[in-house]
Amino acid sequence: MLKTQRMYRSALLIVLLLSSTGQASQDGPAVAIIIDDIGYRIHADRQALALPGPFSYAVLPHTPGADEAIHSVRESNRDLILHMPMEKLHPQNKAEVPGTLRQDMSQARYIRTIHRNIAAVPDIIAVNNHEGSRLTANTERMRWLMKELASYPHLAFIDSRTTRHTVALSTARQYGLVTTHRDVFLDHEPEKIQDQFDLLIETAKRNGTALGVAHPHKETIRYLRSQLPALEQHGVHLIPVSELLKRQQSVKTGRTHAKGIDSTR
């Protein structure tokens, strides 16, 4: 079963890579930036959605501003991601986000919640985790999740890496999903956003691509708007996360063929 899924997705990737045009053909390093946590703070979300350029947006399901945000992302032809809520390590008496996957759920309820969340944010190209420092370290629960995600064609998984103990990325790969992970949190420590932005650029120059994650804070949006020209000055392009996935998969496919490895194993 898993081998068949991997063969199907490998063939699909080849089609996508051969058909990709535009930014896919640009030379030089590139970064993608996902704006997480869209859906709760409608005014802040609007400011984030008004950013120029191919930013990507991760929308929380069942939130007051989700429908408006989904419509805006569609209209602007940008990448839409499901920000899947997952159980974190230290709840700190904070109200749980609707649709949160928890490790104490029965398998049936867990799976129902996955599909309800996906249905609430239609036309997504990927899923990434909201919080999840506890759940993404749970191998069995990650298997439950990735098996369900693998039933949706064209869907990728992006590990936000909220814990060094995460097994989400490796488990997603076992189920044949196209994957990547967050390289830099741009505003995890707001006073260090300049340093983190510089690190994002350095990572892209070193590896060819880099993925940054930010949040719809007023200061963050203002900073990103002002710093976009700096990317081009450094010879770095801003691309959609779907394009980043294509570039990374192209590199992986090239390495696999160069080594004479059967990637369907």
Domains in the chain: ranges and CATH? 2-12+27-252 (3.20.20.370)
Using the CB atoms, write b or e for 74-96: b if 16+ within 10 Å: eeeebbbbbbbbbbbeeeeeeee
Q: What's the token pair of residue 19? A: 């058909």
Q: Is 136 exposed, middle or buried (0-12, 13-18, 19+ CB in 10 A)?
A: buried
pTM score of the predicted model: 0.86
What is the reported pLDDT for 103?
96
53: closest CA among 32, 72, 68? 32
**Measured CA angle at 96 (ends 111, 165), to 5 deg:** 70
What secondary structure, in 3-state letters, does 7-40 show? HHHHHHHHHHHHHCCHHHHCCCCEEEEEEEEECC
8-state DSSP, 211: E
Q: Which residues of the chain have pLDDT under 50?
A: 4, 7-8, 10-25, 257-258, 260-265
- d(C-alpha 85, C-alpha 46), whole Å: 21
What is the reported pLDDT for 251?
82
Q: What's the token pair of residue 149? A: 């995600």
Q: What's the token pair of residue 86? A: 């997952």
What is the reported pLDDT for 131?
96
61: closest CA among 42, 38, 94? 38
158: closest CA among 48, 57, 20? 57
Query: What Cα–Cα distance (Å) separates residue 77 from each residue in 63, 73, 107, 168?
Result: 21, 6, 35, 28
8-state DSSP, 140: H
Q: Does residue 81 sit in helix, strand or coil?
A: strand
Q: Is 180 exposed, middle or buried (0-12, 13-18, 19+ CB in 10 A)?
A: buried
**What helix, strand, coil percent values describe the chain, rounded to 5?**
50, 15, 35
Q: What's the token pair of residue 227? A: 């710093």
